[in-house]
Structure 1
């Protein structure tokens, strides 16, 4: 019996008490999802719930009275060994060994679908987690979002959502012209203009452009800069795409800022805001009255000279996402974008949306890298930044992704590159991946002995050792972890869970022999433990996949 199944039984017990007239409660007040958790103390049973404390007040009685009604019904269920009431009304549920052991069968049968839930079924999320100029390599800040944003989308999908990953290409404005002028200068052997782009990569791009089109240097000056800009744009954007694909981050949409303006999305957005009555003119400019919705000042959309502001693009972009049918628009922004939170929420409110439902803005903190005890500051190719490629070259894709996802995004992060390349238990990604590889080795050993454990009918009631029940309990937690990680947009919860699961497996393996001794007969306990190993391996693989990290069979 899994935690989800227990939660369903607890809810059914409450509704039965209501239907029988024993509990004076409106059935609509019974939560659709009952919280069931693993107690920290194993003496408190296999699972616990606080449902009685939640419902006592609306039922007009005390929590222990509610707990007694629920406990009586749960005790009658097959597979429930005992139900105790603790403290003010907590229910501690202990399963019999056979029922708890069935968790292993549930996981193995479900395969790569285990851990997936339907909390957000039917909902569409847009997750925009990199917004960059196509003027250079992706830097370390982009790298953190490339890992975390993709992992957020993955856990949302595991929770039943349709999550679309979006990259916003800042391909409009003065920075693009500076990029074109920098490439042109490098190709002609002249000085890069003030505020232009430096770094060896600019030389490389200029050489590629000229090699592909030698006639570009002979164009008239005004045409030449534009030609270099557009050729460099295409090459650099493709390099960003290739880098991200190699990082196991694949975007569904590469949304061009130019397209936002050329498609009429800005005008359509303004029409929507006018309909809502929040646009006005003053001092020759066009404003959005965002102060109606907690912004510190109203925002200019169109300047007095007729030029659109950056805020006009931000506004139109949000409205375009909503017009594309997304229920929730999630933005992942850098540490210097705190001012965007209220103004983007105000845009949603001005458009008639619910800013608590339709838009979320997550702010990430900075990343520092250390090697040999000293901070790594400069890229080999980009000059003044550390790039995504630099990090991957140092530690590999898996270690980079896992270490970036493993911590809450709102806290600064320091990466020890020396640690991340170690093949030791001090390296979290190695520790989790090694658990998967270790189990794979055990299952290969079973195959070498001719044990077809999947074809055998296991007696899972034999899994009653404390290390076995602890491992079964840990395995059963994945759906709950997925639910909380998706709801809170915190994929680091999956990483920390996997580390706890790996620890639980290693403790089990140290005291519970899985394969028979040489020349010994295969016993039912061997088969049961192989099913448990298979379930642990599947759970680790599924969790790692939610982080975009591989699950190696050998290490």
Structure 2
């Protein structure tokens, strides 16, 4: 369980307590959890009970007890204690259990892993100029905030100009044309939000003819909106120096591993109940490390597992900040970590080697990485080819 997961878990406990009339208080927009300070108890601490006590008309210790009942049984949480005047202190499950929960969540949610409802109360109205980078950025922002539960409407300055067909080829849709009012009469709480990246300096037609839709979208979205978008032929290079190629090649490699495993007659650990689960410790530690659980978690799998666990937080932050470039950078990091893991811990047996529990666990991690890569590319409006 990541800190973002823990924050959402506590927030859901607050909502349940309010819905069940155990608490009479306004539900906060978010709950802050922090690493426990030296000498403290547990892995993380949270002061939400003190925050809610005044509104609820209850002592903070009583609010903490109400919330502890609703958090303690959640997956990934080993123990919940009440400390001081009403702090909640959380001890998370052992890393192996947490890693398994992450891979199980990826498998269960598929390409929707990391989607949530944190923005479900928000109605967002975006508006952009009739310019290709603004249009593609607005479309990607729409996808991101929708993935977090928001309701969205996008408008563009004007219609009827050349390039409408090209925008369609880029996957861009617009709900309305013309400049709408700054505030909506139907919903005054939904102000108009401008989407204003640095312009591309080229038309949609020019970019499509030279780069195609996927490279065009990646080139427009990977840089932060306030930076110029490099749109040269480097976006078409078939090599690891091209981040788009790296990300898509990593995904294609995960699909090839699944096909290869099927040809050898075995599946991942997540398919093979009750196969042993070794996702975080399958890197074959050196003999002097074999008895150390702590050492095994410093395997080449660790960076990839941590990135997968952090993916929901990255998507939510990208949605909140209207920053699709954060998703692109996350996918690049996952791709690099996948190849490091793949090269150190091959998911497929070689030569006369028989498939083992370690191979099944490695394959489960590789497949989870592929799922995250495909889901992230989809949010950017880019295809994830199974073959490259």
Q: Is the 8 A contact 2:279 2:364 kept in 1?
A: no
Instruction: Describe the shift of the 1:469–1:460 C-alpha distance in structure 2 as closer, same or farther (beyond 3 A).
Output: farther
The residue aligned with 1:159 is: 148
3-state DSSP of counterpart to 2:137? helix
**How far apart are residue 4 of structure 1 and its match?**
5.4
Q: Deviations over 1:52-81 (max 9, x none)?
A: 4x7778889xxxxxx9xx99x989987557
Report the CA distance between 1:362 and its aligned residue: 3.9
CA distance in 1, matches of 2:25, 2:128: 38
Question: Which residue of 447, 462, 470 corresponds with 2:278?
Answer: 462
Indicate how the Cα distance of structure 1 residues 554 and 48 shifts in structure 2: closer, same or farther if over 3 A, else same.
farther
What is aligned with 1:213?
A: none
Matches within 5 A, 1:221-300: 237=161, 239-249=162-172, 251-255=173-177
Give the distance between the partners of 1:48 and 1:358, measured in 2 at CA. Answer: 40
1:430 paired with 2:240, answer: no
Gaps of 5+ in 1: 17-25, 40-46, 61-66, 132-141, 172-236, 258-313, 328-352, 369-385
Change (3 A) 1:318 1:509: same
Matches within 5 A, 1:431-510: 431-453=246-268, 455-457=271-273, 459=275, 461-465=277-281, 466=297, 467-510=300-343
The answer to whether residue 341 in structure 2 is matched with residue 419 in structure 1 is no
How far did 1:511 drift? 1.5
Q: What secondary structure does 1:477 align onto?
A: helix
1:405 — aligned with what?
221
Deviations 1:172-212 (A, max 9, x none): xxxxxxxxxxxxxxxxxxxxxxxxxxxxxxxxxxxxxxxxx
TM-aligned CA distance change 1:540 to 1:525, over 3 Å: same
Hey, what's the Cα distance between the residues in 2 that align with 1:48 and 1:407?
35
* 5+ residue gaps, structure 2: 17-22, 36-41, 55-63, 82-86, 282-296
CA RMSD of aligned residues (A): 4.1
CA distance in 2, matches of 1:432, 1:506: 10
Give the 3-state SS of the residue equivalent to 2:134 in structure 1: helix
* 1:33 corresponds to which of 30, 34, 37: 30
The aligned counterpart of 1:6 is: 6
The equivalent position to 1:514 in structure 2, one of 347, 351, 376, is 347
2:134 pairs with 1:145? yes
- Structure 2 distance, partners of 1:492, 1:542, is 15
Mapped to 2, the partners of 1:35 and 1:459 lie a distance apart of: 37
Aligned-partner Cα distance in 2 for 1:515–1:83:
40
Distance 1:505 1:394 in 2: 30
Larger Rg: 1
Partner-residue secondary structure (3-state), 1:98: helix
Counterpart residue number, 2:114: 115
Q: Equivalents in 2 of 1:93, 1:393: separation in Å?
A: 55
Aligned residues: 348
Structure with greater helix share of residues: 1
Contact 2:126–2:195 (CA under 8 A) maintained in structure 1:
no
Q: Contact (CA 8 Å) 1:36, 1:48: kept in 2 or not?
A: no
- Residue aligning to 1:372: none
Q: Which of 520, 524, 527 does residue 357 from structure 2 map onto? A: 524
